[in-house]
Structure formats: C-alpha cells, structure tokens
Chains A and B, each alone.
Chain A
Amino acid sequence: MASRQDKDGRGRFPGRVTRRGLLKGSAASGVAALGSYGAGAQEVQSETARSGETVDVSLNINGADHSFTLDARTTLLDLLRERMDLTGTKVGCNHGQCGACTILLDGTRINSCLMLAAAADGKAITTIEGLGRPDELHPMQAAFIQHDGFQCGYCTPGQILSAVGCVTEGHAGSRPEIREYMSGNLCRCGAYKGITEAVAEARDATIEWAEAT
C-alpha cells in the first residue's frame, strides 16, 4: 500500500469531509453525546483538512463490509459513533485512560479512541451492537445482567468487549487474574464485584461461543 493521498488531488472531497458531517450524528443523538465528547471535537472543527489529508479506508464492521473516504484524523471511535451511528461504543476520556471505547479489532480488544481509522484499514471490527442480538445475547452480556455488572451502564459496552478479550486471551483463570486483566476498564459506579463475577461465570460459554462463530 502506498500513500493514500487523494488521487485526483482536485478534492473529490474538497476539504469538507471533516467534522461537519461527522458531528451531525452526535447532534442528532442529543446533548449528552456532544457534552461527553469534550474539547477534542471543537478543536478539530476549527481546522479543515486539505486535499491530500484524506484517506480511503475499508473495514468490516459487525460482519458487513464498508468503504469510506475520511479525514486522516478520524479515529475508529469517531468513525463508529459519528459516521456509522454505532453509539454503543462510548466516549469516556478520549485518551486511552478509561476503556469505555473498547472494541474488538480482528478479535483483539483495543481502545478505539487512540487508533486512527486509517491504521485499521482492511480489518474487522466488533462493537457491542455486533456481539449478540437482543433475542440471542452473547453469554457475557447475559452474565453482566445476571450479576449486576453495572449501574448507570455507561462503561458497560467497553467492559463487555474487554471481558470477551480477557477470556479469549486466556486471562480469566482466577478472580485476581480477572481483576488484573480487566483493569483497563474503569467503572465510576464501582460495579467491579459484579463485573468480576460475570467474567468468571461466562468464561467457558464465551470460549464455546467463539469456537462456534
């Protein structure tokens, strides 16, 4: 893959592919989403990408293929929430410090706030929307409900994706190990006890689910 500068250079996406369009999604989904976004969004709005600073990106998201032309600054988190309206993935700190934005990238858990969409080109993403279905919950989702692994629920999508990663990486062997390997997800409500129990209970079923899918 060579440089991804806009090929015709004449701005098929003339300098405006940036945040105006991207922000539409959060405006529609309300004040809370904008409020939680913090300073980052405003900073980006004030500066517009020039031609040559856009990238073409293909991703499989929750089983479906998508292609985008994006401002190179777009993180995976921006893309999922603002462009795809997949707002299950949450914005917490936006700096790798909380885990609210955790997704699976080719099956591996990562913080979507610190990964540029361009750097994930060609990969497959699973978000909370693609993990299970309302009528067929992933065992980890069911276990979080059963063990009260949340209170307000804001950290929960990230916790659940992280929990699936924790199990498939082989780090859910004991409760101390679960606590250590779930430490990348903070819960302001302090639901840690229920979270640990949920991960311990859903461990085997999560492995079976992964083998079956």
Chain B
Amino acid sequence: MRPFSYHRPSSPEDAVAQVAPMGPAGQGGAFLAGGTTIVDLMKLHVVAPPSLTDIGALGLDAIEDRGDGTLHVGARVTMAAAAEHPAFRDRAPVLSDALWKAASPQLRNVATLGGNVLQRTRCPYFRDNVSPCNKRDPGSGCAAMDGINRLLAVLGTSDQCIASYAGDWANALILFDATVETLTADGGRDIAFADLHVPPQDHPERETILGDDELITGYRLQIPEWARRSVYVKARDRESYAFALASAAVALDMDGDTVREARLGLGGVATVPWRAREAEGFLAGKTLTEDVATQAAQIAFQGAQGFGHNDFKIPLGQNTVVKALLDAAAVQLTEEAGQ
C-alpha cells in the first residue's frame, strides 16, 4: 500500500467536508467503509488514495420502516445485518438472498451496503495493475477484449471495456425503484438507483454519477406487497463464496398463473447492474409457462455479445433467468393461501 493519511470524522457533514478531492479512477482521497474492496485494491496498488476518510463513526446503520411500503436503509448497514433483517427476508426475499449468497460470512460482517453497490469489477486485467486497462489507466487499451475474458460481460459493453459489474445486491435493489440519498459539502440530493451506475462507453474509468466528495448516506426503497414472491438465482463456479457467472433477480406479481407485473434484474453478465425492461414488458399479461419464460430470457439477452471465453454466459444467463422466473412463480405465499 502507498502511504495515506487516515481520518475518522464523527458526522456525515464533517466527512464530506474532509474528504480530499478525488482524481479520476479513484486515485484521490476516498471514503473507507468496510474496506473489503478498497483495502484489497490498495494492497494491489490499483487504487492509491492519499487520504482515507473512515465513515465508521457516522451511524447511518439502521433499517427503518417509514410506512406505505417505504423502507429506509442506512449506507453503513452491513451485508450480514441486512440479509437477516425481516424487512428484507419476509417482504422481499430477493434482497436478502442476493446478500447471503454473496462473498463470505466474514466479509458480510464488515462490508456495508454503501460500499457494496460501489464495489469494483473483478476483471483480472483491472486487478493485475500491469495489463492495458482503460478503466484503471484511461487510454491504455483493454487486455480483456482478446484475453481470458471468461468472467466478463456480454451486455452493456463498449469497444473500450468489457469488465463485468461483480456485485449481487445491486441487481436486486434495481427492481424496487430505489432512491440513493447522498450528501456533499453543498448539501444533499436524491439519485434514482437505476441512474447511479453508468455503462463504460468511452469512459470506463467513470463508473457512477457520484461526485468525488459525494457520500451515500442511505437508500429509500418502495417494496410492493407482492414482492414476497421474489428470488435470486446465482450460477457460479462453486456452490458458495464465489462471484456470479450469471444471476437473475426476479419479483413477480401474479394473478393465478398470469403475470400482472414482472421485474427482472441480471448479474454477472453486464457492465452495470442491469434491469431487463423489455423482457419485463413481454411477460406482463402472459401465462407463465416454461416456454414463455424461455422467450423472456431470449429477449433479456437480445444484443448480447460474447468475446470468446465468455460466450457461454449467454446461454447460461438465459437458463438462469428461466429458472428464476419458474422458481418465483412456484413460491408458496402462505398468507395468500389463507385469504
């Protein structure tokens, strides 16, 4: 690690006033939450912030029910605490499943929901700190394009970058029209979660629309009653403690066998947290058979492009979507049965 100065302010206002202005690609000062992404990348010299502003003493660690189906989730709630919280587990299992199926128990005990959505790609060429990589070193090229790109994206890529977004929870959060609440020295703002991440296009070094000194303080989520019928299916190289090769987050509003509304998020296959809106539109009003689920999966991967080693992600991703849709349809809602 390169030397850095360490600060631990005790209020969000002090934190944003103190964080040193950042340069491109996170080479400036940075916030430290659980550290499971940033300390890892600092050890690899992929990022080298001259100062770290530890947000560990800011609070921001509660999940609150604000009525009308609105849930407020602090940015420093840990993945472990959120995975076990009844607001997620009982009301929108996809938000719990995407967490306990991620990382390891030890990591989830410290990793926070703020840091989680901002985790960086696991592209080996980004992490090796040697290869050409437009994300790490803008303009240097992309070694992944013709390299070993088995883990990388097939959706949302550009001719500059095919790095996949590695996280799980964001692909579930994106289903719930979540709002990201942020703070800077100039005040706060709300960002639609679906607008937070930006696809690589010509600037893969820019991953979100957050300003350099902008702190995520929490999320507001709208959880419909029917989100109890939701699942997260994750395909990976080993059964646990591995990133997704392909994953699907599904929430279904059903009227018998007929889909009133479907929401579908994809992970492991895209450059950013991904919502498959066209496939959602196709499913609305349809009777959910395996055939219909397969057509929806094909729509979700329309325009997908493989780069050789990762070609398998297109059929794998489609099969993951089919399984998630059928699993969600098969969820037994106990209270509903008694109604």
Q: Which residues in chain A, 52-105, are within 8 Å of chain B measured between CB atoms?
A: 52-53, 55, 71-73, 75, 94-96, 99, 102
Main secondary structure of the interface of A (DSSP, over half): loop
Q: CB distance A184 to B5 under 8 Å?
A: no
Q: A99-B104, A102-B106, A110-B109 are in contact. Are A49 and B39 (CB under 8 A)?
A: no
Cross-chain contact of A72 among B6, B104, B106 (Cβ < 8 A)? B6
> Can you name 28 A-B residue pairings with CB atoms under 8 Å?
A4-B8, A40-B1, A40-B43, A43-B1, A50-B3, A53-B5, A55-B6, A72-B4, A72-B5, A75-B39, A95-B44, A108-B109, A110-B109, A111-B110, A114-B35, A114-B40, A115-B39, A116-B39, A116-B52, A118-B6, A119-B32, A119-B54, A121-B8, A165-B109, A169-B80, A179-B240, A180-B240, A184-B103
Say if the beta carbon of B9 comes within 8 Å of chain A: yes
Say if the beta carbon of B56 comes within 8 Å of chain A: yes
Q: A96-B36, A114-B35, A119-B35 are in contact. Are A162 and B5 (CB under 8 A)?
A: no
Chain A residues bordering chain B, tally (CB within 8 A): 46
Q: A4-B6, A95-B44 are in contact. List 8 more A-B contacts (CB 8 A).
A: A2-B7, A3-B18, A47-B2, A95-B43, A118-B6, A119-B32, A169-B80, A184-B103
A-contacting residues of B (Cβ < 8 Å)?
1-10, 18, 32, 35-36, 39-40, 43-45, 52, 54, 56-57, 80, 103-107, 109-110, 239-241
Chain B residue nearest to A18 (CB atoms) is B3
Cross-chain contact of B7 among A4, A48, A96, A169 (Cβ < 8 A)? A4
Q: How many A-B residue pairs have CB under 8 A?
A: 117
Q: Which residues in chain A, 111-164, are within 8 Å of chain B measured between CB atoms?
A: 111, 114-116, 118-119, 121, 162
Q: CB distance A2 to B109 under 8 Å?
A: no
Q: CB distance B6 to A1 under 8 Å?
A: no
